[in-house]
């Protein structure tokens, strides 16, 4: 039975009015309280916990604390289990589902079933190719190309480099790797002397970088996505007086190190970027604006802004939120591996340190309206199927290239 079967007469009037205003069918049909599900796949790591806790906190923030029935379902790493869980959510009368998909294609059929029932479906960080779903991610923001070009510029176009891949087989790794390799290959003076799959893990990254340093003691740079803190720690432990150019995640300890004048005097140059857990809370806010008819989207792929913090941009926060442009916490406030981009002072100012650590709403906060969205590039097999990627999708769009020496 479809969602429309449960409409009250007032609901029919609201639907008609919404249609006249150009709102989506799902937004027109949904009535309070909204049944909203968060479907997690991977769980248990810092990134996923930060994203899920931020989403949970927003669902308990006014006005959603009174209008949303929120439930989290953890499917694990089995795609068939995720499909089954999504089917159960549809059967339970979901109005909206926010999910971290395990595959860009395997969930398409069940997602289409949800859309056909009037369910608003959003993904965060990871993406699907089913056209009715909304993907919210910065996979299209060219992290690989921009960070690689930034490193080349800092290195003067030459030097030895370690390449720390992420998780083999993921769309994020394949996309970022193609972009970074494409930039490095333009500069014959850049020599990749070692590479490995760090699995976005700091302990693994530290161990593997240490091995490569033993064979190549003159390494000048390390390119990573995550595992950045561990990669840098390996250099500090093995070569403390000569550090490196490095690009990677937004661990609080890493941001503090790149801003440390003593570290900079030893050659450390770093940029903190990559995908942030705050993409999850941002996707939740956007999904709710669509569900309630406050926002009408003209495209299904939305780009979450690429975080970008260089040493000069690091600003220490005095409280528990990102206010007045701050973006990093004191060393005694959070562990070194805490991911600062779990917070976003511009798009999700309602989310505090307590929110991402405990999943609780920020005292006194209310949901703020989002600005206009930025639509993402189409990338075949990643966020669309019958589409064509921009000709320059492997090129940096944030960092100006230097001439080849």
Beta carbons within 10 angstroms of residue 189's beta carbon: 13
348-368, pLDDT tens digit by residue?
999 999 999 999 999 999 999
The residues near 45 (Cβ < 8 Å, ≥ 6 apart) are: none
The bridge status of strand 245-248 relative to strand 269-272 is parallel
Per-residue pLDDT band at 33 (split at 50, 70, 90) = very high
Residue 341, both tokens: 């981009």
Nearest to 281 by CA among 6, 49, 10, 82: 49
Nearest to 346 by CA among 315, 385, 305: 305
228-256, pLDDT tens digit by residue?
999 999 999 999 999 999 999 999 999 99
pTM: 0.90
Residue 290, both tokens: 């669509």
Length of the chain: 405
Beta bridge partners of 73: 39
Per-residue pLDDT band at 336 (split at 50, 70, 90) = very high
pLDDT at 15 over 80: no
Give the gyration radius of the chain's Cα atoms.
22
pLDDT at 220: 98
Q: Which 3 state secondary structure label does DSSP give 64?
A: helix
The residues near 164 (Cβ < 8 Å, ≥ 6 apart) are: 195, 196, 198, 205, 208, 209, 222, 223, 224, 225, 227, 231, 248
pLDDT at 32: 77
Looking up tokens 């919404």 gives: 18
Rounded CA separation 205/226 (Å): 9
Question: Mean pLDDT of all residues in the chain?
Answer: 92
Least trusted range by pLDDT, from 2-11, 172-181, 199-208, 230-239: 2-11
pLDDT at 17 over 50: no
115-158, pLDDT tens digit by residue?
999 999 999 999 999 999 999 999 999 999 999 999 999 999 99
More confident residue, 42 or 129: 129
Rounded CA separation 223/162 (Å): 6
Residues of the chain with CATH 3.40.50.2300: 33-139+277-305+348-374, 149-272
For residues 13-29, give the mean pLDDT. 40
pLDDT at 270 over 80: yes
Judged by phi (left if over 0) then psi (alpha if -120 to 50, else beta), residue 145 lies in: alpha
Peptide bond into 63 cis (omega under 30): yes
pLDDT at 404 over 50: yes
pLDDT at 1 over 80: no
| 71, containing H or E segment | strand 68-74
Q: Among positive and negative, which fits the CA dihedral 277, 282, 285, 291?
A: negative
149-272: in CATH 3.30.420.10: no
In CATH terms, the fold of domain 33-139+277-305+348-374 is Rossmann fold (3.40.50)
């Amino acid at each position: 039975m479809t969602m429309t079967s449960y409409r009250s007469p007032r609901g029919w009037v609201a639907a008609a009015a919404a249609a006249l205003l150009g709102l989506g069918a799902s937004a027109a049909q949904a009535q309070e309280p909204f049944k909203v599900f968060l479907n997690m796949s991977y769980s248990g790591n810092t990134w996923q916990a930060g994203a899920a806790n931020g989403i949970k906190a927003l669902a308990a923030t006014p006005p959603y604390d009174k209008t949303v029935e929120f439930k989290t379902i953890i499917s694990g790493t089995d795609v068939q289990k995720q499909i089954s869980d999504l089917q159960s959510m549809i059967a339970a009368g979901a109005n909206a589902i926010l999910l971290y998909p395990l595959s860009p294609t395997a969930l398409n059929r069940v997602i289409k079933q949800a859309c056909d029932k009037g369910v608003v479906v959003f993904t965060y960080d990871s993406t699907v190719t089913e056209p009715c779903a909304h993907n919210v991610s910065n996979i299209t923001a060219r992290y690989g190309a921009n960070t690689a070009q930034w490193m080349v510029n800092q290195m003067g176009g030459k030097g030895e480099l370690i390449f720390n891949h992420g998780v083999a087989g993921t769309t994020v790794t394949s996309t970022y790797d193609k972009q970074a390799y494409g930039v490095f290959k333009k500069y014959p003076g850049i020599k990749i002397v070692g590479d490995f799959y760090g699995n976005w893990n700091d302990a693994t990254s530290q161990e593997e970088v240490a091995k490569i340093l033993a064979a190549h003691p003159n390494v000048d740079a390390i390119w990573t996505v995550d595992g950045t803190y561990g990669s840098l720690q390996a250099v500090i432990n093995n070569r403390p007086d000569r550090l490196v150019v490095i690009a990677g995640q937004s661990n609080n300890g890493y941001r503090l190190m790149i801003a440390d004048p003593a570290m900079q005097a030893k050659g450390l140059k770093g940029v903190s970027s990559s995908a942030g857990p705050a993409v999850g809370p941002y996707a939740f806010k956007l999904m709710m604006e669509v569900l309630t008819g406050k926002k009408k989207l003209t495209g299904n792929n939305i780009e979450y802004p690429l975080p970008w913090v260089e040493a000069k941009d690091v600003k220490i926060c005095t409280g528990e939120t990102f206010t007045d442009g701050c973006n990093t916490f004191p060393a005694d406030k959070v562990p070194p591996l805490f991911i600062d981009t779990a917070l976003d002072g511009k798009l999700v100012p309602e989310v505090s340190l307590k929110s991402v650590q405990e999943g609780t709403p920020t005292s006194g906060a209310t949901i703020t309206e989002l600005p206009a969205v930025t639509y993402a590039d189409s990338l075949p097999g990643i966020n669309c199927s019958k589409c064509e990627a921009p000709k320059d999708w492997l090129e940096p769009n944030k960092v100006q290239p230097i001439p080849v020496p």
